[in-house]
Structure 1
Amino acid sequence: MFKISKKEVKDILIAFVVISLSFTILYSNRNTDAFLLFLPMVMIGVGLGFILHELAHKFAALHYGYWAEFELWMPGLFIALISSFFGFIFAAPGAVVIYGNSMSKKVNGIISIVGPITNIIIAVIFLLGLLNFGIFTSLSNEILFYLANIFYLGFAVNAFLALFNLLPIAVFDGKKVFDWNPIIWIVITGIAGYLVYLSYTGGVTHLLTL
């Protein structure tokens, strides 16, 4: 049964706010006017990406009979905020902690990979919105501007979150996926890496100037 405690809701909301602020600082280049403009748009992409990523881990763990709950990691919150001022983000505000008996590498790998895959799916949905942006051109220029940025930021942030979490180090998802199946890790990481590459090319970022 899917259950979520009040503490877990509070932890997710705090992490969501801090990660949203961090990405907004990064994309606004610390400009106050740009910060206020980008914050609500970033929150849409981060909200979908961060919350659904963690819930994917939780649902997968529950599916295999384990109890799982998201818990904040306070040092990670501060690192995320501080790193955003230096042009990058170390996004590790917390994680879904799984409680239960011993777990096989396969189950651990599957539970771990569903988070990045969720981010990849969300990134592709936003990318499809960008690639088919012509269907929205009947809207006003102001609405087009906001819509283009929501699509782009949702795409870029989720692509980054997928690739970042697939790093094969320490307690990241990528380490558990790699230990389970290196081939699957290479394929999924390659997809995430390509999406991140696209997010930094002129092919999609030109929409930001609409």
Structure 2
Amino acid sequence: MRFSGRELRDLTVAWLALGLAFTFFLDNGLATGLLRGEFPVGEAARTFVLSLLTVGVGFLLHELAHKVVAIRFGQVAEFRADYSMLALAVAAGLAGFLFAAPGAVYHGGRSITKRQNGLISLAGPVTNVLLVAAFFPLVFLDGLLGSVGGLGVVINALLAGFNMIPFGPLDGRKVLAWSKAVFAVSFAVCAGLAALALLGPGLAFG
């Protein structure tokens, strides 16, 4: 699997921008501190690393999963960042809101079937579900690892659930267009995980 220079740049910028956006969202005291001219560097660095390891990894692997499956089906596929949306995500984080539309993997080439297109789309949410399982054991640890585990579970569960909504450009719409049965099962799993993540008290921070 090859990456162009532009794609590597876009992935890196999107990863860092999402990390920054979620840093401000998760710790809104940082934005207040900036306004007062007081910025706790140590606290900000910890939250930034936490965001990169959870939100960033969830986003990167979600998009790369789309790319891997698309290439397997003979497509040319590359990630393109949406810089205006990334700027909006950082601004939203500063304002205490959650917004993330960093870009997408675009693919094209020879004609593909609805099944293949559905599998390309399904690869992203499935990857997030697998990441939920990977992060979950860390929830029971103390300190930074526990925080990474808790936030990793919540973020990836929400990414899976959100992307399976059958609307607009989201993955769920393409999966539904391919197979109602596959959509029903995958949506139930992803939405169920998202609901559990939202209802789990204190899970995000271990």
Question: Which TM class, normalised by the smaller chain length?
Answer: 0.7 to 0.9
Structure 1 unaligned segments of length 5 or more: list them: 137-143
Q: Could you give the per-residue CA deviations for residues 10-31 of structure 1, whole angstroms, max 9, x where no partner exists?
A: 0000111111112222221343
Query: Structure 2 counterpart of 1:17, which letter?
Result: L
Structure 2 unaligned segments of length 5 or more: list them: 31-38
Matched, 1:101 2:110: yes
Q: Please, what is the CA RMSD of the aligned residues? A: 2.1
Does structure 2 conserve the Cα–Cα contact (< 8 Å) formed by 1:61 and 1:98?
Answer: yes
Does structure 1 conserve the Cα–Cα contact (< 8 Å) formed by 2:165 and 2:171?
Answer: yes
Change (3 A) 1:162 1:206: closer
Question: Taking every aligned residue pair, what percent have the same amino acid on both sides?
Answer: 34
Give secondary structure in 2 for the equivalent of 1:71. Answer: strand
Change (3 A) 1:125 1:204: farther
Instruction: Please give the alpha-carbon distance, in whole angstroms, between the structure 2 residues aligned to 1:206 and 1:112.
Output: 27
1:140 matched residue in structure 2? none
Change (3 A) 1:72 1:207: closer
Tell me the number of residue pairs that the alignment of Structure 1 and Structure 2 aligns: 196
1:206: how far off? 8.4
Between stretches 15-24 and 63-72, larger displacement belongs to 15-24
Give secondary structure in 1 for the equivalent of 2:157. Answer: helix
1:139 matched residue in structure 2? none
1:52: how far off? 1.2
TM-score by length of 2: 0.85
TM-score by length of 1: 0.83
Instruction: Please give the alpha-carbon distance, in whole angstroms, between the structure 2 residues aligned to 1:97 and 1:206.
Output: 31
Does structure 2 conserve the Cα–Cα contact (< 8 Å) formed by 1:198 and 1:204?
Answer: no
Aligned match of 1:188 in 178, 186, 191? 186
1:117 matched residue in structure 2? 126
Change (3 A) 1:202 1:94: closer
